[in-house]
């Protein structure tokens, strides 16, 4: 009996890692290249680093809007796969293509009109007004070029999301890795002006990013189309873009709450960062340094969280409801272990990492403190991340919204706003207090997952 359980556990973790490892590799290399991008831009100057960081904070909202829309429909895709329903997968893919294109176009319009005003919101803290104006100009120039890539990003998410929801994570990984290589070469040539090209600084980084996004989309379109036997949903996917009315209703009612959740969560995170910048302009550059190493070290638990959602969707879609809660606990524990290991590593390298940047001693010191705080909180973030994907897998989007974005706006944002506006608290302590509120979210996640209200098959 013990031997059978051991084999079952090995098979379970092997399946989980088979899905998670390609995403870890993809995200790890992507974030390593982002680190190199940051270092390249940081060599241009602190103002360039801050301008790009603010612009990317706004684009981050777009990413999560698209992620939420894709993930909402992806709940169905994963359960259709568990059920073996190719038509269902095809319809969900069509819906993603249309919805993501419309959302991307809307975001392009909003950022084109309002990006100067939005960037100025981050430039109200203490600091040199001349620096603030230069940061504003760099940020506007950068984001206006990046807007070209938004529709390709939306389409890429429709393709890669559909493949990942079926457990096929290697193809998106290779497409992303090739695009990353193109981006890195483009950055090297265009930021500094090698091979006779002009040195464009932050603008060059934006152009390289746009090119890489088109390359990634092209690889996914061509590969998926040429391997219809492996991905049968692509056959006839574009014969027409119609989706049965009942499916549109179901997809929409699942996608909208998750899209709203991701949008509100991203806006909440952006608002908190704006609160930190209100205390000091130096906080913008320091947070960018911290978030760069956070993204690199967080690839393990982030990929594990996504894998948890995919595997749990397959389990629920196949009707194995009795097994769901037991496996959920095991997957969450494994995710927390990943967060603990890399959180410790963040704390260890925190005194050294900021010295990779060409910036002031004050910014390096603040960034070191931010990295230590982030490293300490990573296991807690891993717990809430896995809990989020477990809750989402069963399609209970209302509970997911309560757990994620409602927590952010009801607890975290008000604390950040009040402390930044109505106290003189040091920005490091401000960040530490707000980040430590993740412990409250862990308690909420424990209660919700234990309740089992998320255990549902929605494609019967």
Residue 196 burial class via C-beta count within 10 angstroms: exposed 0-12, middle 13-18, buried 19 and up: exposed
Mean pLDDT of 234-241: 87
Provide the residue count of the chain: 460
State the residue for tokens 């270092």: 39
153: phi then psi, degrees, rounded to nearest 5: -65, -40
What pLDDT does residue 61 have? 82
Is residue 2 pLDDT above 60, yes or no? no
The reported pLDDT for the residue numbered 414 is 94
DSSP reduced 3-state for 212: helix
Contact criterion met (CB below 8 Å) for 44 and 202: yes
In 393-456, DSSP assigns E strands to: none
Q: How many CB atoms lie within 10 A of CB 70?
A: 30
Q: What is the pLDDT of residue 1?
A: 46
Q: Which pLDDT score is estimated for 125?
A: 56
CA terminus-to-terminus distance, the chain: 33
Q: Kindly give, in sequence order, each residue whose CB lies less than 8 Å from that of residue 219, ignoring residues fewer than 6 positions away.
A: 174, 175, 178, 179
| Boundaries of every domain in the chain | 2-451
pLDDT > 90: percent of the chain: 27
pLDDT on residue 456: 72
pLDDT tens for residues 423-440? 888 889 999 999 999 999
Say what the pLDDT of residue 30 is: 62
CA distances from 368 to 213, 294, 372, 404 (A): 32, 12, 6, 28
Q: What pLDDT, on the 0 to 100 scale, is given for residue 441?
A: 92
Contacts of 76 (CB under 8 A, 6+ apart): 88, 92, 250, 251, 254, 395, 458, 459
The helix or strand, by DSSP H or E, that contains position 453, with its residue range, turns out to be: none
**pLDDT (0 to 100) of residue 5:** 47
- Residue-wise pLDDT for 5-45, tens only, equals 455 566 666 777 777 777 777 666 666 666 666 667 766 66
Give the pTM: 0.72
Question: Sign of dihedral through CA atoms 23, 24, 29, 33?
Answer: positive
């Amino acid at each position: 009996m013990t031997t059978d359980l051991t084999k079952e556990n090995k098979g379970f973790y092997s399946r989980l890692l088979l899905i998670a490892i390609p995403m870890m590799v993809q995200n790890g290399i992507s974030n390593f290249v982002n680190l190199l991008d940051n270092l390249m831009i940081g060599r241009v100057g602190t103002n360039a680093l801050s301008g790009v960081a603010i612009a990317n904070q706004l684009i981050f909202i777009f990413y999560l809007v698209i992620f939420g829309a894709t993930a909402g429909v992806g709940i169905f895709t994963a359960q259709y796969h568990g059920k073996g329903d190719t038509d269902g997968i095809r319809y969900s893919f069509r819906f993603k293509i249309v919805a993501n294109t419309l959302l991307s176009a809307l975001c392009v319009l909003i950022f084109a009109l309002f990006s100067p005003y939005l960037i100025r919101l981050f430039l109200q803290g203490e600091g040199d007004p001349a620096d603030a104006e230069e940061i504003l100009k760099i940020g506007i120039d950068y984001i206006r070029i990046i807007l070209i890539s938004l529709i390709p990003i939306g389409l890429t998410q429709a393709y890669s999301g559909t493949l990942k929801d079926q457990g096929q994570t290697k193809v998106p990984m290779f497409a992303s890795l090739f695009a990353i290589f193109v981006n890195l070469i483009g950055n090297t040539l265009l930021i500094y002006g090698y091979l006779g090209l002009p040195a464009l600084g932050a603008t060059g980084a934006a152009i390289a990013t746009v090119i890489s996004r088109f390359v990634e989309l092209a690889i996914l379109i061509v590969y998926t189309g040429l391997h219809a036997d492996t991905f049968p949903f692509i056959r006839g996917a574009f014969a027409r873009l119609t989706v049965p009315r009942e499916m549109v209703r179901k997809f929409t009612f699942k996608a909208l709450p998750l899209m709203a959740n991701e949008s509100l969560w991203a806006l909440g995170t952006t608002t908190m960062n704006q609160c930190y910048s209100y205390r000091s302009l130096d906080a913008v550059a320091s947070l960018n340094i911290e978030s760069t190493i956070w993204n690199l070290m967080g690839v393990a638990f982030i990929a594990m969280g996504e894998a948890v959602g995919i595997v749990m969707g397959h389990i629920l879609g196949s009707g194995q409801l009795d097994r769901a809660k037991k496996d959920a606990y095991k997957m969450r524990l494994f995710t927390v272990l990943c967060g603990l290991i890399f959180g410790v590593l963040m704390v260890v390298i925190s005194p050294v990492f900021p010295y990779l940047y060409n910036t002031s001693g004050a910014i390096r010191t603040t960034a070191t403190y931010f990295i230590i705080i982030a490293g300490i909180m990573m296991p807690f973030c891993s717990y809430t991340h896995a809990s989020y994907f477990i809750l989402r897998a069963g399609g209970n989007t209302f509970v997911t919204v309560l757990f994620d974005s409602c927590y952010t706006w009801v607890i975290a944002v008000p604390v950040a706003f009040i402390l930044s506006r109505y106290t003189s608290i040091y920005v490091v302590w401000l960040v530490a207090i707000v980040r430590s509120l993740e412990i409250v979210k862990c308690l909420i996640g424990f209660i919700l997952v234990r309740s089992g209200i998320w255990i549902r098959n929605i494609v019967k």
